[in-house]
Amino acid sequence: EYIDMVLDGIRITGRLSSLYTDASFLFRYARFKGKDLFRAWLHHCLSTVCLGKNGETRLLMKDGECLFSAGTAKKEDLQELLALFLQGQHTPSELMLEPAVAYSVQSEKTEKSGKGDPATKAMASVLDLLKRGMEPEWDLLFSGQNPEDFMSLKFFDHCEWFYQSIWKRANVRKF
């Protein structure tokens, strides 16, 4: 379906696919990644806020699935995503999706067991992805600086935002 809407003075236009009668169904034959979870959340927000659909959004991956239940996305959620987008137009964003997922998984474990440090897990994820050359744009972002120096309070704030705003609403199940 086609979207053409103005939200907070920003015009949102485009075509949203993978919509069915009472749900959205997204799939990608690849390993579960933070970017896929983020894409599913964005899709869920757009279908709910812009199209007025109140169905669930299901993401199926090679090694997991995610479900955003009906009614979990609000106008404020789409406004937050727009704010992140606009911020990223002016300065590199410190929202790194794979470390945010690592942070979220550890936060969930820490809430249940009281053990572990989500910030340490997110930092280890960044360093591992850099070491393996998995995020070439980060090499540009970190050029000439120590990645640990880049991991500011804002980086961890973004990880916490991802955990509270997206992860806790997603019913994620790994296969």
pLDDT score at 95: 85
Query: Which tokens go with 154?
Result: 């804002």
Strand partners, 65: 60, 173
Q: Average pLDDT by consecutive 10-residue portion of the chain (175 residues)? A: 94 95 94 94 96 95 96 95 92 84 88 86 83 80 71 83 93 91
Return the C-alpha torsion angle 57, 64, 121, 107, nearest 10. 50
Angle formed by the axes of helices 75-88 and 153-165, to 10°?
150
The CA-to-CA distance between both ends of the chain, in Å, stands at 31
* DSSP-assigned letters across all residues of 31-87: ---HHHHHHHHHHHHIIIIIT----EEEEEETTEEEEEPTT---HHHHHHHHHHHHH
Pick from 31, 27, 64, 29: nearest CA to 134? 31
- What is the pTM (predicted TM-score) of this model? 0.88
How far is the CA of 71 from the CAs of 23, 25, 51, 85, in angstroms? 12, 16, 13, 23
C-alpha span between 167 and 34 (Å, rounded): 10
C-alpha span between 130 and 170 (Å, rounded): 27
User: Contact 93/87 with Cβ under 8 angstroms?
Assistant: yes
User: Contact 15/1 with Cβ under 8 angstroms?
Assistant: yes
pLDDT score at 175: 87
